[in-house]
Copies of this chain bind each other. A is one copy, B any other.
Amino acid sequence: MPQPKLGLITPNELALFLDYYELTSAKTDFDYDNHAVVTQEYFVRRLPFGSYLVATGLEQVIAFIMNLRFEEKDLGWLEATSGPDFRNGFLDYLMNFKFSGDIHAVPEGTIVFPNEPIINVTGPTIEVQILETYLLNVMNFQSLVATKTARMVDIADQRTIVDFGARRAHGRDAAILAARAAYLAGATGTSLVLAGKKWGIPYIGTMPHAFIMNRPTELEAFREYSKSFPHNTILLVDTYDSLEGVRNAIIIGKELRDQGYRLQGIRLDSGDLVPLSFEARKILDKAGFEDVKIFVSSDLDEYRIEEMIREKAPIDGFGVGTRLVTGANFNPITREGGVSALPGVYKLVERIGKDGHAIPKTKLSADKILVPYRKQINRLLDDDSLFNRDVISRWDEPIADAEPILIPIIEQGRLTYNFPTLKESRAYCTQQINRLPKPYRLLSDSPIYPVKLSPKLEQASASLHSE
């Protein structure tokens, strides 16, 4: 009997993580000996929410590029299945494929804005083009989740945000990557143990409703749990009646206290969370449990969290599942949005001609306009070191008093960037958010952060469009 397939991706087959059209165009480039040096850039035209984006995912992109090799057996499979037009010459080329170009990018956790180049890839045409699908997949998803989480963390103002979303994430990898992106953007931890192990981030949990339903009474369930986890008892109080649950939690709190331990918290997972949290706080305080924390969960997002905080609900932490791991962009106030994806693209902007000069590349069809040339983001700060405005320039064009924020990652095929730890990226991301002036951090109706083109790019853009 054939065994059922897990279908997990292994690193050695990852070179095939590309859309077929990248192979067909690569093969044509190969046939016509087209190895001109080009630059493609990753950027996002429109954000699903808010004014800013937290660029995230670079480590998984670079790990892919450094390991990118086509296995002989995979090429054999390709030859056997792709029809008569794939010739051996091209497959031999793929056999020896290795990225030899340059990559410049903003570090993970950097705040960027629409139309800014987040990653520049420069090198021979085939090598640059072939990275597209993987780069977009990883950057679009992690940046979406990091941005979504940053908004929650920002609005939660020191209260904790925990990723609870593994069960609603889009597959196994999405659960792991979402936990990583969320932690980088300031979440306290994740419910998913494997994400904890993979990224060294705190994993957190209480108990399932089934655990309580599986015992004669809620109180007995709480008691058994508190005896098994005296150092870390957080009780889920909403299985039957939430306030009755709080009273049962107090009984356990007293028992723990008698044994020299401490009830850590309670969790509300259904019902009207704001009034319930006020009631729960009152009952706990009256019983002398002022230090017992209240955690809530149940279809939360940044809008719901903002509302609860505006109503001054005595809540210490939020468990966020679906809307965090999917980066859901439905705005319940405006009833707009609805597609949980970041529409980042990877476009050709420059080709080096035979004479060594840069030829601008752009696409003029319909409504999709593209600024040509390999570019740099230059960030200008105000007197308090807050972000004031950005100027997008040509790669070699200096902008006075500005910091260029795309830095070298891979140079001539060699990794020259020392990746920070995830914790370091997390601290950097927090700092970035804090340097963004408050108005740009509003959940809705935030102003557009000023991003201008440099004089050279203005000129290039204008002359192309007047052609």
Contact = CB atoms under 8 A, between A and B. Distances in A.
A358 interface: no
A206 interface: yes
Contact of A7 (B176, B203, B323): B176
A194 B232 contact: no
A8 B229 contact: no
B2 A6 contact: no
B168 A171 contact: no
Interface string A194-234: 10111100011111111101100000000011011111100
A192 to B, nearest CB: 6
A411 interface: no
Contacts of A366: 238, 270-271
Contact of A328 (B19, B29, B338): B338
B172 A230 contact: no
Interface residues of A, number: 136
Given A140-B167, A338-B329, A172 B225 contact: no
Interface stretch (A57-65, A249-257, A287-295, A447-455): A57-65
27 contacts: A1-B418, A4-B415, A5-B63, A6-B64, A8-B9, A8-B11, A9-B173, A17-B175, A19-B164, A20-B191, A21-B211, A22-B205, A22-B208, A25-B207, A27-B229, A31-B228, A32-B228, A38-B214, A85-B230, A129-B211, A132-B167, A136-B168, A168-B342, A170-B178, A213-B362, A337-B338, A340-B340
Which 5 residue pairs of A and B lie closest in terms of their CB atoms, listed nearest first? A330-B338, A20-B205, A173-B173, A21-B205, A170-B170
Given A28-B225, A214-B348, 20 more contacts: A1-B418, A4-B419, A5-B63, A7-B176, A7-B177, A7-B198, A8-B14, A9-B172, A25-B207, A36-B214, A38-B214, A84-B231, A85-B231, A136-B166, A140-B168, A170-B171, A170-B177, A240-B364, A322-B343, A329-B338
